[in-house]
Structure 1
């Protein structure tokens, strides 16, 4: 959520930035009406309270009751106006950082680095679906019978490779990068999703559980991890807080069509290692660079070609102020696909969840900054390994770094 003080003091400038950079139009007229009424009510309540205090010993009891009733009524009106203001503002996206390129879609994203050279194959290239079908270890038909489209069953050593990737990624983030591993609920309430920005605007992308409790399947472990600090005041000596979790993620992927939904590229259920940092405001952009390195290390050790891009203003998520995407090379598609997004949300989520920081030499707490990222998406990484490490006979060579997680086998036949 944007800073209400900023909106009230500099509404025109905020509106111009959001329209120019994110194509988002504000209802300036209604916000001004609410603010004018709010100021008028606040001043009237203050005047009543001051006059009551000055003349308390001269006011008769029945008059005092009338005044108190009036103040209570006006406070309710003031609270209703504040709630209406917040109900409008909750739909506003975050303001992009000034280093974010202005653009309309992914075409306007800016590549900043490319690592590794895509392999040149001296045999007919197979995609990951054909490789999986060749040895019967990738089964969409049975998954479709069990559930529906965009689900999969992995068998035998391919399932083991998926598990090996998960364990390898967790080991790197916990043992080498200092994240605390967390086991989190896979079901969250609506307040948690409001806190991280998925609700109320993006409810159609979520899997809601059909009951009256307001429960949803998590779209990412970012949601439960960020909400660990909801309604907390944190001492600066306890920062940064670095958390990681392996979870399945559940997304409707509404409106996703084309070749990229085939196979494992875009599933309703997929696994991901999430990394989160809660930091002091002045440290958040250093933390963003650090988290990008923590995700890149995974791809480097797997020896997969990839690139890093800065997302343009209109391609970023609702809550992000700046985002890096890591994109891995998928040979059959002849292009790079996102396997990790690393975002600094600044204080946007912290305002929603009321997560604040207190420092010894300062009286008033300030909002922390929250960052999240993938460290990394397991399914798409599996696709990259299957295709980049494929052999002419349809077998898959196991990357060296994963062999100790695979009982030292060097290939999947």
Structure 2
């Protein structure tokens, strides 16, 4: 807990720091990478760096954490930090790296804010940083312990046993151990990191949800090829550097460097609440893993599955998704396609974007969302309008988490 003196200093300076936090985080990353260029090349997502997404995520996390020290909300803090801790664990982050971040972050704060950073201000924000850092370090240690690995020792080499097209732009890889032993079990909804060694010598890391049954000895991930996308400002969003490399270059028999599974968008073992699994595009992959688990355990609860996609041909795992829902005793599926092609609407298939208007939601429904940010924001607002409790709406964000929804 933040000390009383520091709390008042943070309250007084939060508006100024908040207004400058974007500039501070931009400068922080420049300083960090100048001192440690290997971090940009081999650890951080350089695509997110070039687009500013990682800087926004860091700024948002620091500002949110500081704000929550003034008006404590332990559940909200847990939600924010759990997502960060799981991502850090999937990268193999260790406690000593927080000191490196502290050095360059506070150098950036001093440079941006200048004389406003008095000794009292510096001490208060130092307390905030280390409170956040030590909480994350403890959470990450718990994740490493639960996974049965030493801190940061999450990487292993696996072999691609099977490569299969799931749509024109997506392929799944079945991963197996190199010695024939079973890979560690995971919780439905978790992801693993994949390190790709790119032609320019960089080692870039990305996360992919596990979409196989958790009880099997192998792992399966699905990778979507990303095309350059025109943006509203006339610029072009770059293609997915790692996903495209894996799509074009990884085949049966190849070796991949991956991590132990982590992630907090998971189904609790002791919960029998009705479920809503909602996804768009490649965001259905954690839902596939959850559905395999629900089918394998013959789960009787009501499960509504919603999926939105560009077209039936773009819908990865389309047939598998239908087959899994059909095997659930109380499963029902709804699909929306922006382009129906030659198909007609009906039998749970509609044109356009996902719409909850005609969907029956059971009392106490727990919702799990995964997909592009606009899809999840819109669906969360619709669920709140339908009186689904905010604490029952869980989500997974691709890349840096720049969305921090309010409790309600």
> TM bucket by the smaller chain?
under 0.3
> Which structure is larger by alpha-carbon Rg, 1 or 2?
1
Q: If the length of structure 1 is used for normalisation, what is the TM-score?
A: 0.22
**Higher RCO, 1 vs 2 (CA within 8 Å, ≥6 residues apart):** 1
Q: If the length of structure 2 is used for normalisation, what is the TM-score?
A: 0.22
